[in-house]
Chain A
Amino acid sequence: MGKQPAAVVGVGQTHHRAKRLDVSMAGLCREAIDRALEDANMTLDEIDAIVVGKAPDLFEGVMMPELFMAEALGAAGKPLLRVHTAGSVGGSTAIVAASLVQAGVHKKVLTVAYEKQSESNAMWALSVPLPFNMPVHAGAGGYFAPHVRSYIRRSEAPTHVGAIVAAKDRNNALKNPYAHLHNEGTTVESVLASQMLWDPIRYDETCPSSDGACALVIVSEDIAAASPNPAWIHGTVMRSEATTAAERDQVNPQASRDAAAALWKQAGITSPIDEIDAAEIYVPFSWFEPMWLESLGFADANGGGWRLTESGGTAMDGVLPVNCSGGVLSSNPIGASGMLRFGEAALQVRGAAGEHQVDGARKALGHAYGGGSQFFAMWVVGAEKPTN
């Protein structure tokens, strides 16, 4: 039978905050689900199957929380899957949901990813001592800072490029009513003046810790016909590599390069910088924008990335607008962050991104990564039905 076309016809997300004390975990998910269903003009009863994604269960202190939430998520009497692939999980979950439609098994699939970090303590959850494993008591920032320093050394980047990314994303977030951070007046200078946390990463160059959820409705070709603006899925990819290996290049991991190559091929894209109109890239620390721009093939390795960022090429009006939503730097409900990238990409090609819409966006990238840069999930969505 071959792969069936699939499209995103509904996108919903919560207002992301440090602590959403007004809702339970299920309530948080339902806020995103109800918005996605309304966007898709559908009810929960019409949904065939539900795919749930989130990062480690220790983040909330509940083992496999989708079990207790099954009824609240509308999954009672339906198939339910739970995906967990580290920080890339929001992307992987959307891909598994898409595969349910692409395999021809279901026609209307709802997927939701969330994190309610305020229920527990992410720093603790990430720092459980493990036998025979290098301790990472520094948290994610301490883990990634050496990668960033290595990138700066290799690419001879000027040290203010990270601040350019942070100022851009925080200002983009002002156009996104759902973003966690709405820090008005953020400038390159104000970012550079903020506290140094893990050299060269400053406070304003880090993502917040958020409560939030994102939901998508993914449907088959015949169902998508009823939608005024479906976002067609042109390609999906997942790749994983080892955490620790002497030959690993953590700055530009092979799994990332392999994933990008496979994705562009699947989507029929030969020149990503020319053919992609908007990109939502997982940038939890500012410097990852230039790093991923190179790894994804938008710019030449060892310097093309920071030059593109420095030139203003990744701003809303640039050659490749990156993270118009404000990105992970402005909202980071970890398990949902990847799905937010995928969903924001869909909003762009549907012309439904509101104030942060890129004019005339026809093809967009959604990108997520996780762990110590060894897990990757990406997709390309387009306003047109794929021809391949």
Chain B
Amino acid sequence: MRDVAVVGFAQRQMPEFDGSPTCVEMLVPLLAECYEQTGWTRRDIGFWCSGSSDYLAGRSFSFVSAVDAIGVIPPVNESHVEMDLAWAMYEAWLKIQTGEVDTALVYAFGKSSAGVLRRTLGLQLEPYTMTPLWPDTVSLAGLQARAGIDAGAWDEAAMAEVANRSLTDAEKNEYSIRKGGSSVEDLLARPMYADPLRKHDCSPVTDGAAAIVLAAGDKARDVRDKPAWISGLSHYIDPMGMGTRDLTRSPSAARAAAALDLSGVEVAELHAPFSHQELILRRELGLADDVRINPSGGALTSNPMFSGGGIRIGETASRIWSGEISKGVGHATSGPALQQNLLCTLEGRN
């Protein structure tokens, strides 16, 4: 395997983006930030890959206008996944591993506020028997949270603890759109939203975009003193069927963790759009008690669709560049109730 590192990262998150559903306007400054961080121009990028969703953009081919943000004259080597930024990064990492290219810029975007997000995401369900009932994704997460409480896997106080820590950490993150910790008691006193979920147990509807730059070997060392080297990258998917899964577990997350070396991880940025899902992930990853979880505030404080997972990897990389940590793990999820999961370990060794 070639040594490949994350050497650039830029993000934008907001409650409501005042622009087009393709988010082209948001991508231009993000790409500019990536060029500034790396000292490159777009012609130094060997491969491009984006992640987005047609259903979120309310159109077919949501990525078509987005490539205008790159400026694709002359043409570029480019691809697109109907997935989160983290999987776009995976495709770019593969491309670098084939030896065809040495650098890649991946980006993702989504305007969640353009529709009613929890109903839009309901269209991911099995279309013949489940979608006609149209259970929304917040309700499905509520069923998952209830299953865990009934099984004694967690309780509402543990969920509130996750939310309180996230909201407190978010105060230091300029991109978090919900912030301000208080206490577990205070949070538990707030009204139910989708029993047993309170609003702070659910990620806020977030518009946003993010970009990640990858480089191999010396190209990475040229950009940063401490590139965030990708030491492991693994992802798996579980069946969707909500009635046949143990909703208190996430086998695909456990499998991804088993494929990596998580020992010595100091920070874990977990893409948990609902508070109880962080508890599931901590268990499946087998993280030690001293691992710092979501110092960015995590997805509970800001969760732009289709970049929310990749942002976890970018946040982890940023802490390696600064020297704050020497090893971390970023996580991304997709599908209802933690169906699909990706883990990426990053290390500061040189």
Contacts and interface: CB of A to CB of B under 8 A. Distances in A.
A58 B54 contact: yes
Given A242-B68, A247-B73, A371-B64, A128 B59 contact: yes
Contact of A71 (B53, B67, B97, B239): B239
A64 interface: yes
B95 interface: yes
Interface string A53-82: 001111111111101101100011111111
Contact of A75 (B79, B80, B126, B237): B237
Interface stretch (B6-14, B296-304, B333-341): B333-341
Contacts of B237: 67, 70, 75-80
Most chain B beta carbons < 10 A, residue from A84, A100, A103, A241: A84
Given A63-B55, A240-B72, A245-B73, A83 B99 contact: no
B54 A56 contact: yes
Contacts of A243: 64-65, 68
Interface of A: 1-3, 24-25, 55-65, 67-68, 70-71, 75-86, 92, 96, 99-100, 102-105, 125-126, 128, 130-133, 237-243, 245, 247-248, 253-255, 258-259, 371, 374
A1 B98 CA distance: 8
A133 B335 CA distance: 31
A58 to B, nearest CB: 5
A71 B130 CA distance: 16
A79 B94 CA distance: 13
For the complex of A and B, 9 pairs with smallest distance between CB atoms: A103-B97, A56-B60, A255-B75, A71-B239, A240-B78, A241-B75, A63-B123, A63-B55, A68-B126
Contacts of A58: 54-55, 59-60
A77 B94 CA distance: 20
A239 B339 contact: no
B123 A1 contact: no
Interface in B90-140: 90-91, 94-95, 97-100, 120-121, 123-128, 130-131
B36 interface: no
A84 B340 contact: no
Given A67-B335, A80-B236, A254-B74, 7 more contacts: A25-B127, A60-B127, A80-B340, A96-B79, A100-B94, A240-B67, A255-B75
A67 B94 contact: no
Contact of A99 (B55, B78, B94): B94
A57 B54 contact: yes
Given A99-B94, A371-B64, A240 B236 contact: no
Most chain A beta carbons < 10 A, residue from B61, B124, B131: B61
B81 interface: yes
A60 B77 CA distance: 28
Contact of A239 (B65, B77, B131, B335): B77
Interface of B: 1-2, 20, 48, 53-55, 58-61, 63-65, 67-68, 72-83, 87, 90-91, 94-95, 97-100, 120-121, 123-128, 130-131, 234-241, 251-252, 255, 334-336, 339-340
Contact of B61 (A56, A64, A80): A56
B98 A57 contact: no
B130 to A, nearest CB: 8
B81 to A, nearest CB: 6
Contacts of B81: 81-84
A3 B97 CA distance: 8
Contacts of A1: 1-2, 97, 99
Contacts of B54: 56-58, 63, 84
A238 B79 contact: yes
Nearest to B68: A242
Given A68-B127, A75-B237, A128-B58, A83 B64 contact: no
A139 B83 CA distance: 27
A63 B98 contact: no
Nearest to B255: A77
A239 B79 contact: no
B124 to A, nearest CB: 5
Most chain A beta carbons < 10 A, residue from B2, B68, B79, B83: B79
A5 to B, nearest CB: 11
Contact of B82 (A82, A237, A259): A82
